Amino acid sequence: MLNFQPDKEAKETIQVLDRFRLIKMRRVIRGIPWIPVAILFLFLFCGIFGSYITPNDPMKTNLKAAKTPPFWQKGGSTKYLLGTDSFGRDILSRIIKGAAISLQVGFAVVVFAGALGAMIALLSGYLGGWVDAVLMRITDMFLSMPYLMIAIALAAVLGPSKHNIILIMAILGWAGYARVLRGEVLRIKGADFIKLAIVARAGKARIMLRHIFPNIVNTLVVLATLQLGIVIIMESSLSFLGLGVPPPEPAWGSMVADGRIMMFTAWWISTWPGIAILLVVLSCNLLGDWLRVRLDPKFRQL
């Protein structure tokens, strides 16, 4: 039985490679935007387990405690850390509960719009011809629409409802995916491994699903991360106008609307949900930019 022993030069080469991998890993870890990741993790945690961690019932009213300021101000109480609204409902509990609504709407819209946009991009980019012309003209038509105005009009017609909001934003949001992903499909379509698959007589559906789609997933993830922030802004805007999630469900947009006329007397009612929207949306944008750099070989620095 042979006992292979690497020589000194081979050992030194292995040590250099291990050291290089360690340095590369440290650079990757250092480059991760930890603050946005932590904020989004907290948002995800509150969205999933919010019903179990709220300090008070977010729906329960207590008129005796109406407009209680945050605990550090005069008249505040540690029972209501961020204060209460004009009905005596705990602001902190309603923000935590509202995270679940924003997460449900955002996740559903991103999944449905992303799936529809990716399917249209695959069909348009790979099949080409009249299929590409028709699908791209439809895409251009949707992209040219005033997104917010159309959403407001449809929400007013269909009525305020979480499911209606998901349906409206999914229908209006797929076009951005389709336009960007089509360019990726056209680029990959001319690659050698696609030509080899065609020579091997692979079907068009197999080529699109098994060979092209896995190569556009990175771009799809970046687009989904960026659109999550847009969806949260849209849902909050519709709720602010009374066309989103109907009360007494604690949507962040409706919470901002509840306190907009009391900014000088009860600033905390609108401020805290507004800060929640700002932090989550900003974190989505920062994480999306980082993913774009990390997942795109053209921008990768490591």
* pLDDT tens digits, one per residue of 23-60: 555 555 566 778 888 999 999 999 888 888 888 888 88
- CATH homologous superfamily of 80-295 equals MetI-like (1.10.3720.10)
Q: How far apart are CA 37 and CA 282, in angstroms?
A: 11
Among positive and negative, which fits the CA dihedral 38, 43, 46, 48?
negative
Angle at alpha carbon of residue 185, lines to 182 and 186, rounded to 5°: 90
Q: What is the pLDDT of residue 43?
A: 92
Contact between 235 and 293 (Cβ < 8 Å) = no
pTM score, whole prediction: 0.82
Q: What is the pLDDT of residue 62?
A: 85
Q: What is the pLDDT of residue 127?
A: 87
Q: What is the pLDDT of residue 247?
A: 78
- Number of helices (H), then strands (E), belonging to the chain: the values are 11, 0
Q: What is the pLDDT of residue 10?
A: 59
Residues of the chain with pLDDT under 70: 1-31, 296-302
Closest CA to 171 of 150, 186, 188: 150
Q: What is the pLDDT of residue 260?
A: 86
* pLDDT tens digits, one per residue of 242-276: 888 887 788 898 899 888 888 888 899 999 999 99
